[in-house]
Chains A and B, each alone.
Chain A
Amino acid sequence: MGQGGEIKDGDTILKVEDIHMYFGKVAALAGVSLEVKKGEIHSIIGPNGAGKTVMMNCINGLYRPQKGNIYYKGQVINKVSPHKRAELGIGRTFQKLELYGGMTVLDNIRMGSHIHLKSGILSGSIYAGRTKQEEIKERKYIEEDIIDLLEIESIRDQVAHMLPYGLQKRVELGRALALRPEIILLDEPMAGLNLEEVEDMARFILDINEEEQWKTTCVLVEHDMGVVMDISHNILVLNFGNVITDGPPEEVGKNPEVMKAYLGEEDLYISRR
């Protein structure tokens, strides 16, 4: 998707500027800024209730922040509706699964690519010409690449809600990828997964980020500190809607405030696993 001009690696693709989001009198975000460079994995961490998911919802358009701007490729997208943002190239997965439970894995993934099918009702209903070609091209892309990448070949025809949780998480990632986003918002992709599944998921995220064919910028909300420290280029730390720090993992790890607010709680971290 090339809307808004091409952006090189290292340029800012997404910028969140001093956003405030209140629910009643509760400040979920009180002046948070974030700058995501193209090609990086930028993680957002923080204790429960720090405002991580709210942040995702603001970027994705489900929430409208009361104050502050969100720029995507240099353009303000505050007023752009969520589905338009998806068309612009912002994909996402959800903390609580939002799969189409009754559909098969393959259909779920195809659903993600529907915005790339441009043929109208007429040619669509006679299933000829452009439609047929598009359909074939699309199907090939989906089947070969996404399913290969996520290693879900064996379950492609199974109904989504019958699958184990870990696989459903993978399918949701696949569906978001089918949108061919330039930037993908991953909201706790590893929550509730076992150790092996966490490792797989981390590998997929790295693949999506690094492989020539995907090259997708990732914004990752995650509790699993080990993974976050390993795979992120930059980490934003939130606590009660405020930014504690933002920088590369080595720096963030040394920050005393972060240690106190989050990393120091070693017991909590272990018990979550």
Chain B
Amino acid sequence: MDILMPQLGETVTEGKITTWFKSVGDAVKPGDNLFEIETDKVTMEVPATNAGFLTEIMVLAGAVAPVGAVVAVVGEAGGNRSAAAPVAASAPKPAAAPAGRPAVGFIAPVPTAVQKPSGPMDPFFEVRTPARNHGPAQIAGGTYVTPLARRLASESGIDLSRIKGSGPRGRIVAHDIETAAQSGTGRAAMPAGPSAAQVIAMYRDTPYEEVPLDGMRKTIATRLVQAKGTIPHFYLTADIDIDNLLAMREDANASAPKGADGKPAYKLSLNDFVIKAWAAALKRIPDANAVWAEDRILRFQQADIGVAVAIEGGLLTPVIRHADAKSVGAIAADMRDFAERARERKLKPTEYQGGSSAISNLGMYGVREFAAIINPPHATILAVGASRRQAVEKADGSVGFISQMSATVSYDHRVIDGALGAQLLAAFRGFMEQPVTMLV
């Protein structure tokens, strides 16, 4: 058992051991004097209360120990509790514990396993201090931030260093965080990439041509960084059997009336059917025919589909209005017109703004499947791959070939949850696989 420096009066905090009456290894029995202590008030002998052997002396004669400190150990014969050096008389205060020494020896003994009374009343813990810290009151640069603003910022992932405070003396207040959250300006920055100078330095030994950014490239850069950085994207992919669709397209194109110049009145592309099917799917699943407006969602009756058109130096996304109500032929006519004028950069802003969803088709480049970045404020974008011949197991167990394409839809999870997204994709697949249903 541990022998402690006893309490020798209410105001006494430490005692000096003047003499040890026993040496390590000596047998002790209750009543035997172990050591003598001296305080500023008294000198007294301290007897043993248990029988055993003095196995360790931790505070040597001449040293001072605080009340409650372990000064010696009485145990079984030969027992050795620790190899720590005893506190020597030269040590001014034993409170400066040698490294590695268990600190518990200098703490007043506390009853172990004290059971706290159960129930709501605990007068010592009646204050419910917030469990989480939301960062310092003053951020780098010296700006102060109110506690509420700090909490709101940490909860909504706003980077305080990007916020300008409107409060007294430039303090950032809750209102500033709310404004920033709405505009998206204060969103935590992506880890910044290397600067222009760094990149140029990196390639100084490699010949290159410098291409200045034009307006379109800048717009694409900002909007897609914003889209990819702020929209919680998720993606669903489906393989679609397009045998029926290809047959229908072939029939339609073969029976197109010819004009005076001998040219057919129309030539429907696979993409025209994709636009029609996607519009029909959005019309079928109206909850998914929606856009994100920061503090609300806007849902539409009509499906206006933006279609990405690659042009020299970038891309444009003209919008086929009322695509759900248009015939495939009308969609084809719109697309031909839009594509021509897009390449000449002659589209009017009203023709490429808005829409409730978009389509990006890279099938003509042989891309099997890909995931597109949502074009805000849209909540979806459909990415279409190339049609291919695919071996599949037929109903009778034999293997045969069908025409198949893969479609991946990107969703904004703020607007559309997984199940709803799956319904939308299933509807699209249904229209594509049974194209006649688009006509009813």
Interaction A to B: no
Where the two chains meet, the residues of A that have a C-beta atom closer than 8 Å to any C-beta of B are none
